[in-house]
Amino acid sequence: KAGVTQTPRYLIKTRGQQVTLSCSPISGHRSVSWYQQTPGQGLQFLFEYFSETQRNKGNFPGRFSGRQFSNSRSEMNVSTLELGDSALYLCASSLGEGKPSNYGYTFGSGTRLTVV
Amino acid sequence: DAKTTQPNSMESNEEEPVHLPCNHSTISGTDYIHWYRQLPSQGPEYVIHGLTSNVNNRMASLAIAEDRKSSTLILHRATLRDAAVYYCILRQTGNQFYFGTGTSLTVIP
């Protein structure tokens, strides 16, 4: 079956602009999580959506937001981009039901965002 | 989530077993131990997870200490494709993954 698809793969934006990234989870997966990866901070959790509702949120400013659609596809938005937002943004999907600690996540290949 | 401690880097010869250690001395009874790996230019990939008993799958084995304060990921025969950063993560029900710095594994031909 198809894996987690993230689009676009690469993106260059200017400071102050906003950006929207997209994630299509594995068919049947209802949970979508987003992570930011930078060389300095490593992998950091942004937020998780399950059945169109935000279920968990990491410690990021309000400029970072997301949403999930009825087909489980998710988007994340970053407004007023800063140079420090340059990172690899990863999306992960999972079944989302039952005991979350007992199942794995499938990650996409990420969107590489560069802010200039 | 409880923290994990892993060596920053390890080396292994190709076709030899690799034992990647992870310390998690503050683990709670409901924490599952998850291992993921990340190859260059890719997202993390699920490797294995367990709670108390040792686990085996087609990719690796997970050996969990009796007191659960440490665990070891075992790659039975390292290949060049196993060169990656390996993350040991503790996860409780309802919580997200919190990745540490992981162990960068180099496989020497």
How many angstroms separate the CA atoms of B76 and A91, rounded? 30
Q: Do B96 and A48 touch (CB under 8 A)?
A: yes
Q: Do B96 and A107 touch (CB under 8 A)?
A: no
Nearest CA in chain B to A104: B46
> Is the bond preceding residue B17 a cis peptide, omega within 30 degrees?
no
How many angstroms separate the CA atoms of B100 and A37, rounded? 12
> Closest partner residue to B91 among A48, A101, A109, by Cβ?
A101
- Give the tokens for residue A82: 């800063």
> Closest partner residue to B32 among A33, A102, A107, by Cβ?
A102
User: Does any CB of chain B come closer than 8 Å to the CB of residue A102?
Assistant: yes
Residue range B44-72, pLDDT digits in tens: 999 999 999 999 998 899 999 999 999 99
Phi, psi (deg, nearest 5) at residue B81: -75, -10
Tens digit of each residue's pLDDT, chain A (116 residues): 679 999 999 999 999 999 999 999 999 888 899 999 998 888 999 999 988 999 888 999 999 999 999 999 999 999 999 999 999 999 999 886 655 555 678 999 999 999 99
- Give the tokens for residue B27: 């683990």
How many angstroms separate the CA atoms of B1 and A100, rounded? 14
